């Protein structure tokens, strides 16, 4: 269960937008330990309206390339997780932080969707068992896929470094999240 209800968040944000109290005083008034969540709620509300304060009800899966694009944008611009989420029309900065952690820890494989229940088996032995079970052809196909992803990432990184504005505008047009919004309008 969420720590704060959507209605509570909306009430706090509206109180802030009235302009009578700042973040710190609002946090004290409502018994919130830190003003940081209020800052996040206000920014999400300004970017997405009431929808920005709501928790997602269903799990949405994102392609690996989309995750890499987001992490690349964050790294190149130095944007915060929330700024990055808003830039890509997402309402879950913690998800981007999770992707970043997985990418730093496991590389591209950490960004791939893993289905099913996690095993209690140590990772090293699981990886060696999978490698033993995979045929040579399967191993090569897996390696090719990882290399394709790495090349695509490096190409996008190069394009972004050469001209960030054009890259971002092009990415906005192709984003699956934008196409969903256009379809619903």
Q: Is residue 11 part of a domain?
A: yes
Check residue 92 and give its pLDDT: 78
Check residue 181 and give its pLDDT: 46
Question: What percentage of the chain exceeds 70 in pLDDT?
Answer: 76
| 109 pLDDT higher than 80 | yes
Check residue 91 and give its pLDDT: 75
Q: Are residues 74 and 42 in the same domain?
A: no
Tokens of 63: 């392609």
Q: Are residues 118 and 29 in the same domain?
A: no
Tell me the CA distances in angstroms from 132 to 9, 39, 108, 136, 165, one per residue in order.
52, 50, 21, 9, 46
Per-residue pLDDT, averaged over 23-29, amounts to 87
Per-residue pLDDT, averaged over 62-72, amounts to 87
Check residue 185 and give its pLDDT: 44
Burial 65-83, CB ≥16 within 10 A → b, else e: ebbbbbbbbbeeeeeebbb
Q: Are residues 98 and 42 in the same domain?
A: no
Q: Are residues 82 and 30 in the same domain?
A: no
Least confident range of 41-45, 86-90, 96-100, 113-117: 113-117
State how many domains the chain has.
Answer: 2
Per-residue pLDDT, averaged over 38-54, amounts to 80
Q: Is residue 1 part of a domain?
A: no
Q: Are residues 89 and 17 in the same domain?
A: no
| 139 pLDDT higher than 80 | yes
Question: Looking up tokens 């394709």, which residue turns up?
Answer: 148
Q: Are residues 95 and 128 in the same domain?
A: yes
Domain span holding position 18 = 6-53
Q: Are residues 40 and 103 in the same domain?
A: no
Q: Are residues 84 and 152 in the same domain?
A: yes
Q: Is residue 116 part of a domain?
A: yes
**What is the overall mean pLDDT for the chain?**
78
10-18 contacts at long range (C-beta below 8 A, 24 or more positions apart): 10/45, 10/50, 10/53, 12/38, 12/41, 13/38, 13/41, 13/42, 13/45, 13/53, 16/42, 17/42, 17/45
Check residue 143 and give its pLDDT: 87
Torsion of CA 84, 71, 80, 175, to 10 degrees: 0
| 35 pLDDT higher than 70 | yes
Q: Are residues 72 and 150 in the same domain?
A: yes
Q: Are residues 153 and 69 in the same domain?
A: yes
Q: Are residues 79 and 130 in the same domain?
A: yes
Q: Is residue 184 part of a domain?
A: no
Q: Is residue 185 part of a domain?
A: no
Q: Are residues 71 and 94 in the same domain?
A: yes
């Amino acid at each position: 269960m969420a720590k704060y209800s959507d209605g509570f968040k909306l009430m706090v944000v509206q109180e802030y937008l009235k302009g009578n109290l700042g973040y710190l005083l609002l946090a004290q008034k409502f018994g919130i330990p830190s003003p940081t969540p209020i800052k996040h709620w206000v920014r999400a509300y300004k970017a997405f309206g009431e929808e920005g304060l709501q928790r997602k009800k269903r799990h949405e899966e994102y392609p690996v390339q989309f995750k890499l694009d987001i992490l690349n944008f964050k790294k190149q611009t130095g944007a915060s997780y929330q700024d990055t989420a808003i830039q890509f029309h997402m309402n879950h900065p913690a998800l981007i932080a999770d992707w970043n952690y997985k990418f730093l820890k496991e590389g591209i494989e950490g960004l791939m969707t893993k289905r099913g229940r996690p095993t209690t088996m140590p990772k090293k032995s699981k990886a060696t068992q999978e490698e033993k079970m995979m045929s040579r052809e399967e191993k090569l196909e897996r390696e090719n896929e990882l290399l394709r992803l790495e090349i695509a990432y490096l190409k996008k990184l190069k394009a972004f470094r050469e001209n960030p504005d054009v890259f971002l505008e092009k990415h906005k047009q192709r984003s699956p999240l934008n196409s969903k919004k256009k379809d619903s309008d």
